[in-house]
Amino acid sequence: MSFIAERMGRIDASGIRKIFALAANMKDPINLSIGQPDYDVADAVKEVAVREIQSGFNSYTQTQGIQELRDEASAYYQQRFGAPLENVLITSGVSGGLFLALLATVNPGDEVIFADPYFVMYKHLVNLLGGVCKPVNTYPDFKLRPDAVEAVITKKTKLLLVNSPSNPTGVTLTKPELAALAAVAKKHNLLVISDEIYEQFSYDGTPSTMVGLYDNLILLNGFSKMAAMTGWRVGFAAGPEDIIQKMTTLQQYTFVCAPSFAQKAAVTALRADPSEKTAQYRKKRDLISEGLKDRFTIVQPGGAFYIFPQAPGGDGDAFVAKAIENNVLVIPGSVFSDRKTHFRISFAATDDTIRRGVEVLNRLAAEYS
């Protein structure tokens, strides 16, 4: 008898494991793989965390999080987008919020639609819960379009998952494009989850949100990207009262609450002006795009800190293996997609690292000419 639950057979970490195995012997790699900013948490945020720890704010908080941060999250969306949040729940990162949202809403057999390429967690969590993934092919420009979504909707479709700016492509949807997706969701009475963790990394035009475009919407956002608080595990969710109540109940029996001192510090992080860091990362976006455009087929990312080039020769797995052999660490597109034609680069790195990586990748691409 196996002691492993059957549900574990529905998820697979083999793609990531293979890359880690290939990279295990790399010495001081040119690392363009990590989805984590290349800067540290701001001193002002650290100071709040230290002060709260030293003052004894180290116990559980209420399951839904401290009121100050819940209010601040709503005020942030009001100030940035003119759309305040209702029924805010503080989560253990956006990943924790996503897990709670899916666990509270997805029954076995329910269909969940999302763009392909996709953030890896979407597919595996839906599968873990017995849901049915309905990835929508968005190649070659990676835009999730209403007609493509509507084409895969069936009687069993329950949920549309939207990620803009996107991991792994960096593609960003405008407000009219988000509104068009919201209209399809309304027409077919779908629940929408909007993963907006990268919204502060928006480089072209006005940053957009799905908040205010549709009532049956769960908003997810957090502090791991712009605030660089990846290890602090703080995020927030907002949405219909009945769903957020169920998510709160689930949090009570799983994560319990987000870290107490980190919640206090997150208030300060949310009040910070992101414009300087956004400008810095726009320059990194331009540096990687300009550096690759002559040798690779690319879609310039409008946000986040990823670019998703087409692999020379059409086999992303093989090209990534060759890159790793040449001390450049990138991720094959097959980790994020049903196709393996592309690969993901994270430009959340120093400018020097980006330039070194571009040089090697271009040299490897030239071998396919």
Q: How far apart are CA 235 and CA 247, in angstroms?
A: 13
Dihedral over Cα of 338, 343, 347, 350: its sign: positive
CA 101 vs CA 91, 129, 228, 314, 363: distances in Å: 11, 12, 23, 36, 44
- Its CATH architecture, for the domain 6-41+275-366, is Alpha-Beta Complex (3.90)
User: Residue ranges of the chain with pLDDT lower than 70?
Assistant: 14-17, 22
The domain limits of the chain are 6-41+275-366, 59-271
Q: How far apart are CA 258 and CA 163, in angstroms?
A: 23
Q: Are 152 and 107 in contact (CB under 8 A)?
A: no
Identify the pLDDT of residue 14: 63
Identify the pLDDT of residue 11: 85
Domains 6-41+275-366 and 59-271 share a fold: no
Identify the pLDDT of residue 188: 98
Q: Are 366 and 322 in contact (CB under 8 A)?
A: no
Identify the pLDDT of residue 369: 72
DSSP 107: P
Instruction: Name every residue whose Cβ is closer than 8 Å to that of residue 228 and which is 6 or more positions away in sequence.
Output: 36, 37, 39, 40, 41, 42
Q: Residue 36 is encoded by which pair of tokens?
A: 């984590």
Entry pTM: 0.94
CATH class of domain segment(s) 59-271: alpha beta
